[in-house]
Amino acid sequence: MPKTKISEFDVDPANNTDINSINIAEGCAPSGINNAIRQLMSDLKEFQTGAAGDSFTVGGAFAANGGATLGDASGDALTINSSAVSIPNGLNFDSNTLVIDATNNRVGVGVASPAGSFQVVGANDQIRSGDGTTTTFLGGSGAIGYTGTLTNHPFTFFTNSTERMRIDSSGNVGIGTSSPASKLHVAGSFRQTGATAPFEWTVNSGAADYLKLNAVGYADNLIVANSSGNVGIGTSSPITKLGINGGTSILGGNKLFLWNAANNSAPYLSSPTDNTIAFFDTSNSERMRIDTSGNLLVGTTSVLYSSGQQGLSVKTNGGYALVTQPASNNYNSLSILNASGTLVGSVYASSTATAYNTSSDYRLKDNQAPLTGSGAFIDALQPKTWTWKADGSIGTGFIAHEVQAVSPNSVVGEKDAVEKDGKPQYQAMEYGSAEFIANIIAELQDLRKRVAVLESK
């Protein structure tokens, strides 16, 4: 068979009897040798350029003193069948397409001098990996670095061969769960650290579902109970929409607005001055306040009478200053206690009338005896008339300090007393006092007896 390629030559010289059908066997013509040499030179050139399509096998070391080109633009391949390939001084393909830096043990793709063990420089998704179904990528462009999946699949993060976090194909992030149901879904507690103590969020799933926010080391700072929608601060079992266990402060605007479902306008509580609480309506008008002395002021921002702490001041622009109504008839509309908490007076309402009562039970009294001296009591009183300074109207009755000399319990205050600021502290008296009434009744009874004696004669 004619030998048309170098690879077809035999290592045994006796078997090489022709070159491309030119006879070079023993005893051939000299012209055959000449033509065979020329043909061999042609075959070697074709082998060099690859035109012959011949393979080349090196059984030992291969040294190229200078450049070496393997293959051409037609896409020829180089196959090295060996247990190892050693390139002591590195490898460079097309300047920076693929660079192996043997000195620094680095590989670069798209970069001539890789700065790390493996560096890729290129546009968009620079590194892709996948199994034919899922494709992941790692890349960067401009000032943005990115990684993820190029297919409709989740992107997961593992430690110790266990999934810790994933981003699903909808963009939801799950930590501790492989099925995130919202943009951030955390299965379990998590902490948020700050300048001092960290905070810890806890979600309890069970009979009492709740979301809890705690400063680490403290319990029940903030609780949101899922089953009822109640919020607890300092308590884990709020029974109303907002339950607070401990002190409450409102800072900044000093306003607490009270909204309802049917009206966007809101009344509110405010602290217009230090230690004062004011109540405003929806028109921003103050209706009531508690001042620094503990007085409750309605319709006024200051006490109506400056003689000591009043407790309640009510000012109206018309109508009633104070209205009371018992739950049913024949009950007290107003009860009055002494400093010891004992009931000493009341305003009693029936279905048709009102009674103004003071305590008079026999069980409260010792040394009970008939009243005497009623005539002297009545004679000592000095009924008078006068003109009121305020409006010039005529008055009839008594002068307080004159009555005080006869009936001290019927008068309050002292004659000529003044407040700390120099204003007069006026006396007042009870015209229908028990002492007045008792002495009048006793004197009438005595007069009736005397009249009866005279009428019997």
Give the model's pLDDT for residue 37: 78
Higher pLDDT, 260 or 93: 93
Higher pLDDT, 281 or 449: 449
Q: How far apart are CA 71 and CA 93, in angstroms?
A: 13
- Strand positions, DSSP E, 153-258: 155-159, 162-167, 173-175, 184-186, 190-192, 199-204, 210-215, 222-225, 231-233, 242-244, 255-257
Give the model's pLDDT for residue 79: 46
Confidence of residue 366 (pLDDT cuts 50, 70, 90): very high
Nearest by Cα to 334 from 351, 313, 353, 356 = 356
Q: How far apart are CA 200 and CA 188, in angstroms?
A: 11
Tell me, yes or no, if the pTM score tops 0.85. Answer: no
Tell me: the pLDDT tens digits for 291-325? 888 888 888 888 887 666 678 888 888 888 888 88
Question: For residue 312, what are its two tokens?
Answer: 């309640």
C-beta pairs of 6-14 under 8 Å, 24+ apart in sequence: 6/43, 6/44, 6/47, 6/52, 6/54, 7/54, 7/55, 7/56
Give the model's pLDDT for residue 328: 86
**In the predicted model, is pLDDT for residue 438 greater than 80?**
yes
Tell me: the pLDDT tens digits for 393-437? 999 999 999 999 999 999 999 999 998 888 898 999 999 899 999
In the predicted model, what is the mean pLDDT of residues 337-357? 89
Give the model's pLDDT for residue 396: 96
